[in-house]
Amino acid sequence: MGTLPPPRMARHVRVRDPDSGEDLDDGLALWFPGPRSVTGEDVGELHLHGSRAVIAAVMAALGRLGLRLAEPGEFTRRAFHNGKLDLTQAEAVADLAAAETEAQRRQALRQLDGRLGELYRGWSDRLLRLLAHFEAAIDFPDEDLPPEIENRVAADTADLAGEIARHLADGHRGERLRDGIAVAIVGPPNAGKSSLLNQLARREAAITSPIAGTTRDVIEVVIDLAGYPVVLADTAGLRDSADLIEQEGLRRARARAESAELRLFVFDAGRPEDAAGAVAWPGPDTLVVANKIDVAPNRAGVPPGALALSALTGEGIPDLIQTLAARIAGTYDIAAPLLTRARHREALENAADALRRSLAADFPELRAEDLRLAWRSLGRITGRVDVEDLLDVIFRDFCLGK
Ligand SMILES: Nc1nc2c(ncn2[C@@H]2O[C@H](COP(=O)(O)OP(=O)(O)OP(=O)(O)O)[C@@H](O)[C@H]2O)c(=O)[nH]1
Ligand SMILES: [Mg+2]
C-alpha cells in the first residue's frame, strides 16, 4: 500500500493491483485535496501509459475498490454544483473541447474565464437592487415609494433593458463563431466558382467542368480560414434557364447568397461585362472576384476594387484569403464577451421582454413581478437562481425611508 503524494505534487509511482500486488504500470500520481481541485472535491490523478491493456488492468483494479468511470460531463457537472464554475463556464468547457479553429478556441476560453457569466451576474445584481425597492413597498403598503426612487427605478429598468437589447443585437456573432461563418460563392455559369471552392477547401469537393451549368445544388464545405470557422457554399451559375431542376438550383443559389454573411461574386475576367451581375448584392459584404486571370494576364477586365485571381493556378488565392480574413476579423475580433448560445439568447429575450412589461405596468406589484421574472431568466443563464440571494439583498442593502 503506497502513501498519498503531497498535495499538487507529481510523484513517480508503480501502480500495483491491491489484491495480487502485481505491477500494472509505471506512471505519475497527483493528489488534489478539495476544495482546491477542479471539481472542488478530493481528486486523485494517475498518469499512465494509455494502452488498452494498461487501462483495462487499472480500471479493473479500481473497480474492485468501488470506483467507476465518470459519466459524460460529470467532472464539469460536479464543478458546477460545487460552485467552481457557472453554467456559461460549464458550456465553455464543452466548446473548448469541440473547438476546431483558433477563433473558436479563443471565444471558448474567454467564456471559460467567466467574462460572459460576469456580465450576466452584473445585470442580475442590478435587478436585485431594483427589486429590493419594490419588495419593501409591497411588504409595507402604508409607505409609498418616494417618487424620486420610483423614477430612478424606472430609469434603471429602462437602462438595463437597453443594455440587454444591445447585447442581443449583436448579429448573432458569438453563435456564428461557434457554428461557422456563412460565405457563399455566386456568379455566372462557368466562371470557376466550384474551382474556387476546391482551391479554398484544398480538395476536390465540387465537380468542375467546361460545361456551363455543372453545379446544380448548393455544395457546402467547412474550412478553417486563417483561424476562422467558415461554412463555404458553392452555388449554381446564375442564368435564365427553362430547365426545372436548374431553376430550383438558381432559387437555392439566390437564397444562399441572401442569407450568407459574405459573398464572393466570381466572374470570368475574360468576360468583363459579367461583373455587372454583382449589383444584385450591393454593399461591402460582396467581394467581387475576377477569375481566370491566367488567361487574361493584362487584367483589362478587372474592375477597380475587384480581386484578380486564378482558381486554376492558385495565383491570387492568398490575397483573397487575407482579404476575407480581414473582413471577418473586423466583425468578430472584439474584446466584449459575445452571446454564444440559443439558450442564452432565449433567456435574455425573456428578460428584456419582462423589463419592458415592467416599465408599462400600472401597479408596483405587477412591476415587481416582471422584474422578478427578468431576474429569474438571467439567473437561469448562469445557473445561480436562488431566492436566498433576494432575501439577503433586501435585508442588507435596503433601509426603508432612511
Ligand atoms: N484557365 C482557367 N480556367 C479555369 C479557372 N477556374 C476555372 N477554370 C475552368 O473553367 C471551367 C468552369 O469551372 P467551374 O469551376 O466548373 O465553374 P463554375 O462557375 O462552378 O460553373 P457552374 O457550376 O457551371 O456554374 C472548368 O473547365 C475549369 O477548369 C482559372 O482560373 N483559369
Ligand atoms: Mg460549379
Of all protein residues, the one whose alpha carbon is nearest to atom 1 of ligand 1 is: 292
In angstroms, the CA 266 to CA 277 distance is 9
DSSP for 314-355, please give it: -TTHHHHHHHHHHHHHHHH--SS-----HHHHHHHHHHHHHH
Q: Is any atom of ligand 1 closer than 6 Å to the C-beta of 280? A: no
Is 292's C-beta closer than 6 angstroms to any atom of ligand 1? yes
**Residue of 185, 186, 190 best suited for mutating to test ligand 1, as the one with most atoms within 8 Å of CB:** 190
Cα–ligand 2 centroid distance for 201 (angstroms): 14
| Contact 210 CB / ligand 1 (< 6 Å) | yes
Q: Does the CB atom of residue 215 touch ligand 1 within 6 A?
A: yes
Q: What cell numbers appear for 153 in the block? A: 427605478
Distance 255 CA to ligand 1 centre (A): 22
315 vs 186, 274, 290, 293, 312, CA distance in Å? 20, 21, 12, 8, 8
pLDDT at 2: 72
* pLDDT confidence of residue 274: 95
Dist. CA 302–CA 168, nearest whole Å: 40
**364 neighbors 134 (Cβ within 8 angstroms):** yes
Which residue, judged by its Cα, is nearest atom 16 of ligand 1? 208
**To which residue does cell 468583363 refer?**
272
Query: CA 340, CA 334: separation in Å to the nearest integer?
Result: 14
* Long-range pairs for 166-173: beta carbons < 8 A, 24 or more residues apart: 167/119, 167/339, 167/348, 168/339, 168/345, 168/348, 168/349, 168/352, 170/338, 170/339, 171/331, 172/339, 173/331, 173/332, 173/334, 173/338, 173/339
Query: Would you give the DSSP letter of residue 151?
Result: H
Question: Out of 1.10.1740.10, 1.10.3720.10, 1.20.1090.10, 1.20.120.430, which CATH number does the structure's domain 102-170+339-397 have?
Answer: 1.20.120.430
Q: In what order do the strands lie in the sheet with 23-32?
A: 11-16, 23-32, 43-47
Ligand 1 neighbourhood includes 157 CB (under 6 angstroms): no
Distance (Å) from CA 90 to ligand 2 centroid: 42
Stated pTM of the model: 0.75
Read out DSSP for 28-43? EEEEE-TTSSSSSS-E
Per CATH, the homologous superfamily of domain 11-79 is Probable tRNA modification gtpase trme; domain 1 (3.30.1360.120)
SS3 192: coil
**Domain map of the chain by residue range?**
11-79, 102-170+339-397, 180-332
Which atom of ligand 1 lies nearest, measured to the CA of 234?
A: 20
For ligand 1, is residue 155 a contact (CB within 6 Å)? no
Contact yes or no for 345/167 (Cβ under 8 A): no
Nearest CA to ligand 1 atom 21: 190
Which ligand lies nearest the alpha carbon of 213? 1
Phi and psi of 95, rounded to 5°?
-65, -40
Architecture of domain 180-332: 3-Layer(aba) Sandwich (3.40)
Distance CA 288, CA 276 (A): 10
Query: pLDDT at position 399, please?
Result: 32
Task: Check if 102-170+339-397 and 180-332 are the same fold.
Answer: no
From CA 149, how far away is CA 20, in angstroms rounded? 74
Digitized pLDDT (tens) for each residue of the chain, 402 residues in all: 578 999 999 999 999 999 999 999 999 999 999 999 999 999 999 999 989 999 999 999 999 999 998 887 788 888 888 989 888 898 888 888 888 999 999 999 999 999 899 999 999 999 999 988 877 766 666 666 677 888 888 999 999 999 999 999 888 888 888 889 999 999 999 999 999 999 999 999 999 999 999 999 999 999 999 999 999 999 999 999 889 999 999 999 999 999 999 999 999 999 999 999 999 999 999 999 999 999 987 888 788 889 999 999 999 999 999 999 999 998 888 777 788 888 889 999 999 999 999 999 988 888 889 999 999 999 988 887 754 444 444 334 433 322
Q: In 3-state terms, what secondary structure has residue 65? A: coil
Could you tell me which residues come within 8 angstroms of residue 81 by beta carbon, excluding any fewer than 6 positions away? none
Q: Are 316 and 307 in contact (CB under 8 A)?
A: yes
| Residue reference for cell 509505471 | 26
Q: State the Cα–Cα distance between residues 229 and 111, nearest whole angstrom.
A: 18
Distance (Å) from CA 244 to ligand 1 centroid = 23
Q: Is the CB of 214 under 6 A from ligand 1?
A: yes
Measured between alpha carbons, how far is 201 from 233 in angstroms, rounded to an integer? 11
Would you state the pLDDT for residue 386? 57
Backbone phi, psi, residue 136, to 5°: -65, -40
